[in-house]
Chain A
Amino acid sequence: MKMNKSLDQKIGFSLIFSMMLITLFFLGSLVYFIAVRGAGIISWQFLTDVPREAMTKGGVAPAIVGTFYLMLGSVLVALPLGVACAIYLCEYSPKKTIVNLIRISINNLAGVPSVVFGLFGLAVFVKFFGFGVSILSGCLTLGIMVLPNIISASQEALIAVPQSHREASLALGATQWQTIKKVVLPGSLPGILTGVILSIGRVAGETAPILFTAGTFYMRGFPKSPLSETMVLPYHIYALMTEGVHPEFQVKIAYGCAFILLILVLLVSSFAIILRQQQRSRYGI
């Protein structure tokens, strides 16, 4: 009896241990391959030059710049909306039915496939509002896509501000808005920032929503206005692998782009996750 007991435990534990190992092996080999084959491609010229000679030479600077534009722009769209929504839900204690309605819409919005956001952006921003395939359309589309993340992170941050701080402020004769502005928001800023950084990481890697709203395969220069289309790293990788006539050169460039993108996203999200862990342990969550 006792033998059996420890035997099933041994088998079971080795099973879940191997699951963990396989997971780490797969993810690790992805990072390894891209790092090993991509790092060699990176050079000063690759990072700073525009593409030349039908994408066989030069660099990918416009794609890097375009990626940053989209990261920044989508946050500008999502941050005010997301924080306002979180403030309303957490600070103004609306009726339960309203809270539930908004919460359900946030959860469902979070689950919409990214390519569907692309369709929405195409129909609404590109065509209906006439922004065309542009940085603006891309930022709006991506902004709506990351809105649920920003809301959840802001809510978590607002809840972490002790209720006693709100009470102290109100008891001193501050209005509710003053309390939010001077006590609640400053207290929740680090948490909101974490959510923003995580969302930025997500925006950097998203491709499907910008396929038909912002991205272009090949540009000889940099985007000049919010209404011009732009190269972006993830779309560029896709285009290099599926279009063009010099695959032998293009794969190398794609490795370089994938490496930059991977480093960018991993750095951004490690930063955010480490920050979040520090905050959580500080508030004892």
Chain B
Amino acid sequence: MGKSDIHKKIFAVLAFSSLVFLIGITIVLFKEGLPIFRIVKPLNFLFGKYWYPTYDPPDFGILPLILGSLWVTAGALLVCVPLGIGSALYLNELAGPKQRAFLKPAIEILASIPSIVFGFFGMVVVAPFLQKLLNIPVGLTAFTGSLILGVMATPTVCSIAEDALSFVPKSFREASFAVGANRWQTLVKVTLPAAGSGISTAVILGMSRAVGETMTVLMVCGGAAVIPKSFFEPVRPMTATIAAEMGEAVTGSPHFQALFAIGMILFLVTLVFNIAAEIISRRFRLKLGLGR
């Protein structure tokens, strides 16, 4: 009795490690990041238009960075949502068993291609190509970043969306066929809505991944910390700013604190996304009677 209790206690303590790390991350970000607000007012930090952290006196306005993240994320969604969900529908409805057995794992495997490789590919192949094609001064722009990021998130969105589609009970579709609907109508009017919240989970997680993605945007977005006027200008998303500047920021300096504060905002944004995804996916499971 007593002995098995000891094991249980050890496991219980270790099981809370995820929670401890999550709290640890929160504490670290707040502790290192909040002091910046002694120098800049929170609103000026969030909506300040100039990011010149190394000037004297420095400017810590992260609006350009936030907008950079927003543009690139929105652009990436425009790419990965149609591609990811379209591919998922194809896998679910059109692909034969043999094709499916090959494509489904292949897409999962492609989802593991590291972001640095995408970034590199964007830099050496896509950016020069787009620069020539569109006749723009630089190839490293918000547009290029969105495109690469979108393609990168596509396999993830596709895998999760396909899982959601395959969870839809066969009986739903059979009922639709029975009243004379064709396959496309059944797919769009029955299967897709039934998997709807599962698919929104896929989109939210894809979005969360796009917002938090670092190396790709660092390499292909051009890195200009100014408010972008069009899609074809360089931008500097929040993650890229942290990655590019942390190396030269002096520990404890306002610049260092500002970078942690950016990390804090990123963390909070993705936290909201993840909680939203969690709530939606729980509702999805309840709706289909899958329990838990």
Contacts and interface: CB of A to CB of B under 8 A. Distances in A.
Contact of B124 (A22, A104, A251): A251
Contacts of B18: 85, 102, 105-106, 109, 147-148, 151
A234 B273 contact: no
B278 interface: yes
Interface in A107-164: 107-120, 122-124, 127, 144, 147-148, 151
B182 to A, nearest CB: 5
A148 B158 CA distance: 21
B109 interface: yes
Most A CB within 10 A of own CB, among B8, B119, B184, B275: B184
B204 to A, nearest CB: 10
Given A20-B90, A119-B242, A105 B22 contact: yes
Contact of A265 (B87, B91, B113): B113
- Interface range on chain B (Cβ under 8 Å from partner): 35 or more
Contacts of B167: none
B interface: dominant SS: helix
Nearest to B14: A84
A24 B147 CA distance: 14
6 contacts: A13-B94, A13-B183, A20-B91, A118-B246, A204-B114, A207-B214
Interface of A: 5-6, 8-9, 12-13, 15-20, 22-23, 26-27, 29-31, 33-34, 80-81, 84-85, 87-89, 91-92, 94, 101-102, 104-120, 122-124, 127, 144, 147-148, 151, 175-177, 180, 198, 201-202, 204-208, 211-212, 234-235, 237-238, 241-242, 251, 254-255, 258, 261-262, 265-266, 268-270, 273-274, 277
Interface of B: 3-4, 7-8, 10-12, 14-19, 21-22, 24-25, 28-29, 31-32, 82-87, 89-91, 93-94, 103, 105, 107-110, 112-121, 123-125, 151, 154-155, 158, 182-185, 187-188, 205, 208, 211-215, 218-219, 239, 242-243, 246-247, 251, 259-260, 263, 266-267, 270-271, 273-275, 277-278
